[in-house]
Amino acid sequence: MPKESANDRFRTAALALGLDPEIRRFPEDTRTADQAAAAIGCDVAQIVKSLVFAVGGEPVLVLTSGANQVATDKVGDLLDGKVGRADATVVRDATGFAIGGVPPFGHATDLRTLLDADLLNFDVVWGAAGTPDTVFAIEPRQLAEISGATVADVAAV
């Protein structure tokens, strides 16, 4: 039996949550927020960056606007721990996806998740769909709900 692709794993997770997103594939890489926004034709702030950090040694997910940097001190205060970077191995082990293609839900493990309050300023936001060249659209309040995220101010000033 062939191995399920990252996009298939994302779609399976989305369907299990009651979503049937249109996965858009681009010939160019959409690994960074700027690349994704240019390919989609949207504001970079509408891109959902799925970033994994280590808080007290535990991987956590921060879904932030593509226009924002994450204030790790705010994340640490919200999650009661010291925040560090998660390396590529931790990201893949925690999510099941490679950096650049991590979707905002459907991970290999259950991650505590924060969602950048700035994403709620939009009707539609765009997240990775499992690979660096695929994205999907979603309403940000629905994203918060299905990802189990706590909406918070995580943006650096």
Q: Residue 27 is inside which H or E element, if any?
A: none
Placement of tokens 């997240």 in the chain: 127
Residue 31 clears pLDDT 90, i.e. is over it: no
Q: What Rg, from alpha-carbon coordinates, does the chain have? A: 14
Average pLDDT over the chain, rounded to an integer? 94
Name the H helices within 41-127: 72-79, 88-95
Quickly state the pLDDT bin for 29 (edges 50, 70, 90): confident
Q: Rounded to an integer, what distance in angstroms lies between the CA atom of residue 13 and that of residue 28? A: 25
Q: What DSSP character marks residue 139?
A: -
Walk me through the domains of the chain, giving residue ranges and CATH numbers. 6-152 (3.90.960.10)
Does this model's pTM top 0.85? yes
Report yes or no: 94 and 110 within 8 Å, Cβ to Cβ: no
Inter-residue contact 67 to 118 (CB < 8 Å): yes
Tens of pLDDT, residue by residue over 4-23, are: 799 999 999 999 999 999 99
